[in-house]
Amino acid sequence: MEPLSRGRYRARLAATEQDLRDSQRLRWQCFLARTGEVDDGHRLDADDMDAACQHVLIEEAASGTLVCSFRFLPLADGSQIARSYSARHYDLAALGRFDGPMVEMGRFCIHPDHRDPDILRTAWAALTRHVDDTGVEMLFGCSSFFGCDPDAHAEAFTMLKDRHLAPRRWWPRVKAPSVFRFARVLRLRQPDPRRAMAAMPPLLRSYLAMGGWVSDHAVVDQALKTMHVFTGVEIRAIPAARRRLLDTMAGLT
């Protein structure tokens, strides 16, 4: 992926060990500082997936301050789905039949002191450029809700079960030991669309706007104090208007 500049921000791939550590440090601040761990100034969020992934840094162009990062794992097709982080938490056997290039996007985080919407737009512009350059046909990953109380996310889960469940041909099944089966538990509840969308994580809102879909259950991650749903987007199914917007942001039109 070539570096990309958009307004105040630039996106680039991590090129050094320090780049990776900076990303891991930001991840710790976003995912683990909330859990009460004591910060000694050197805490990192790192795992064995980092070596297999490419890491994207979004920085303020003027200062070089890291404001966002994420990682992605390219897969030739669904036959490699077992390599993904998501496959550790979901039974993705159905997606093993997917016959095009895929990318798993993970550990997406924005610095808590930087909430400019253009940060997320820059991230999507960079990913759109990568999808266009490499012919990716599906994006997927885990979309996280902060907090493990299902009641706190009930409006969002209700909207997901009503309008955004995965197609049966790609249905993610239960694998993790602790899950909340929201499609079953909330089957009689009707969503309040305004409240539901306000409660959606920003990244998941972006996926849904592109025609994305989710698993029928959320995995409870006590270590990170989150609940996450498997999320997929088939590139060919992105609505035309949304695709034009993404292409414009990425400088492809």
Please give the Cα distance from 239 to 210 (Å, whole number): 6
- DSSP structure string for 188-210: TPPP-HHHHHHHS-HHHHHHHHT
pLDDT digit string, tens, across residues 179-225 = 999 999 999 999 999 999 999 999 999 999 999 999 999 999 998 89
Tell me the residue range of the domain where 212 lies.
4-249
Q: By three-state DSSP, how is residue 14 classified?
A: coil
pLDDT higher than 80, residue 29? yes
Q: What CATH number is given to the structural domain containing 238?
A: 3.40.630.30
As for how many domains the chain has, the answer is 1
pLDDT higher than 80, residue 82? yes
Per the prediction, the chain carries an average pLDDT of 95
Mean pLDDT of 221-237: 95
Predicted TM-score (pTM) of this structure: 0.95
Q: In this structure, how many other beta carbons lie within 10 angstroms of the beta carbon of residue 42?
A: 8
Closest to 206 measured CA to CA, from 165, 252, 245: 245
Q: Which single residue is written with the structure tokens 């500049």?
A: 5
